[in-house]
Amino acid sequence: MDVSLNRTEAQLGAAPELTVVLPTYNERGNVPLVIAALRKALEGVAWEVIFVDDNSPDGTAAAARAIAAEDPRIRVIRRVGRRGLSGACVEGMLASSAPFVAVMDADMQHDETLLPRMLATLRYGEVDLAVASRKVEGGDIGDGLSAIRKAGSNFANALARKLLKVTLSDPMSGFFMLRRDVVDELAPRLSAQGFKILLDIVASGEGRLRIRELPFVFRERQEGESKLDTLVTLDYLGLLVSKYLGDMVSVRFLMFSLVGASGVLVHLVALRASLLALELDFNQAQIAATFVAMTTNFFLNNQLTYRDRRLTGFALLRGLVTFYAVCSVGVLANVGVANLIYENEPVWWIAGAAGAVMGAVWNYAASSVLTWRK
Ligand code: GDD
Ligand code: MN
């Protein structure tokens, strides 16, 4: 098949050298501002923009498409039924065919005038990743963050350095540029959850990436509001542990196990309450407590572990029923494995722990297929 372009086709537009990925969630007001800023900052560069919008209710995707209709350098990916900054960034980067890709917030907090300098360092071929940092000489966190966010950000930085031996001054930065082939290589190992895409890239690159940090001043948000919340912080801690364990377990499985562990406490409290307050006999109380624990586990997982696929309405009810079914089989798997091991090796805690791990792995695998299916 002949895939070469004829002259007129080729003249329609130069193939972009740089793709700027702009993840968006409820940023309609910022769309025209950021495009105007990029057009100005990237004059003389063959660029394209890929918006990755998670079906924002405020109509961000439509606003972006309206501009894209007049400017072929602008593309829009609208994701339905999925949420998450990191996943959106990965998807946008993978949709690029340019040799270099940048990720930048769409809310005007990042200084777009830095892009040409980031591009220059990469073109030169001596670095694989250029990071806009608020924490090197000349950079500043500015007025873009509250005092609490600043303290949290510093703590998270310290933790990342200690656990993952990351040497970046600002591993939380959401503003960076890298070679697209690096993205292609690392993509299978990147977590779709949370905000910390840069940290994930650097940790997954295991010190092989040549990195240059460039200072910038974090600006204040123009329109709309921040989407970073406490759940994002939890995701971040999950990412650190997961990377620390060398990717053996996913962030999601860690979260699921954490919820499961909290379920044991819930179970014991509910058991005691049913015995004392409801005066059930032990078997009845045990069954009641099991249902209470399964139910709280279900809702916690729906809020935390699977918040990017969160079930609502009828699907929520359907999900709850399948979760009960999955967990019931999980109990059988747990007891079965524990007994089997105990018969051969009568050490109560080894048998008990093996049973619990078996139950957790089963519950996780089965519920990801049946309850929170994609
Ligand atoms: N597609 C998509 N999906 N985009 C999202 C989502 C999501 O679930 N959540 C946020 N975004 C987009 C926002 O619309 C914005 O363009 C960008 O991601 C950053 O989100 P903000 O909500 O503005 O984050 P922030 O300003 O609080 O956090 C920034 O600073 C942090 C460090 O202090 C970001 O740059 C973070 O990446 C950074 O770690
Ligand atoms: Mn922001």
Q: What is the pLDDT of residues 69-121, one digit of tens each?
A: 999 999 999 999 888 899 999 999 999 999 999 999 999 999 999 999 999 99
Confidence of residue 10 (pLDDT cuts 50, 70, 90): very low
Structure pTM? 0.76
Give the mutation target among 227, 236, 307 for probing the ligand 1 site: most ligand atoms within 8 A of CB: 227
Instruction: Provide the pLDDT for residue 230.
Output: 67
Confidence of residue 194 (pLDDT cuts 50, 70, 90): low
Give the mutation target among 38, 85, 108 for probing the ligand 1 site: most ligand atoms within 8 A of CB: 85
The stretch 10-35 carries a mean pLDDT of: 89
Which residue's C-alpha comes closest to atom 25 of ligand 1?
Answer: 226
Query: Is ligand 1 within 6 A of the CB of residue 84?
Result: yes
Instruction: Provide the pLDDT for residue 2.
Output: 56
| Angle, in degrees to the nearest 10, between helices 60-68 and 31-41 | 40
How many Å apart are CA 355 and CA 342, to the nearest integer?
10
Question: Is 5 a residue whose pLDDT tops 60?
Answer: no
286: part of which helix (H) or strand (E)?
helix 282-303
The stretch 7-31 carries a mean pLDDT of: 83
The stretch 299-305 carries a mean pLDDT of: 92
How many Å apart are CA 164 and CA 346, to the nearest integer?
39
**AA identity, residue 296:** T
Give the chain's mean pLDDT.
88
Instruction: Provide the pLDDT for residue 233.
Output: 72
- The answer to whether the beta carbons of residues 170 and 135 sit under 8 Å apart is yes
What are the φ and ψ backbone dihedral angles of 193, each rounded to 5 degrees? -90, 160
Query: Is ligand 1 within 6 A of the CB of residue 182?
Result: no
Instruction: Provide the pLDDT for residue 92.
Output: 97
Half-sphere exposure of 243 (CA within 13 A, CB side): 28
**DSSP label of 16:** P
The stretch 33-59 carries a mean pLDDT of: 96
Question: Is 60 a residue whose pLDDT tops 80?
Answer: yes
* 269 CA to centre of own chain: 33
Percentage of the chain exceeding pLDDT 70: 94
pLDDT tens digits along 216-272: 998 888 788 887 776 777 777 787 888 788 777 888 898 899 899 899 899 999 999
Instruction: Provide the pLDDT for residue 32.
Output: 97
Question: Is 9 a residue whose pLDDT tops 80?
Answer: no
Closest CA to 104 of 19, 40, 186, 47: 19
pLDDT tens digits along 129-172: 999 998 888 888 776 667 777 777 778 788 887 777 778 888 88
Q: Which atom of ligand 1 is nearest to the CA of 60?
A: 14
CA of 351 to the centre of ligand 2 (A): 49
On the 0-12 / 13-18 / 19+ scale of CB atoms within 10 A, 142 is middle
The stretch 329-351 carries a mean pLDDT of: 88
> Quick one: CA dihedral 73, 77, 83, 84, positive or negative?
negative
How many Å apart are CA 81 and CA 91, to the nearest integer?
14
Instruction: Provide the pLDDT for residue 196.
Output: 82
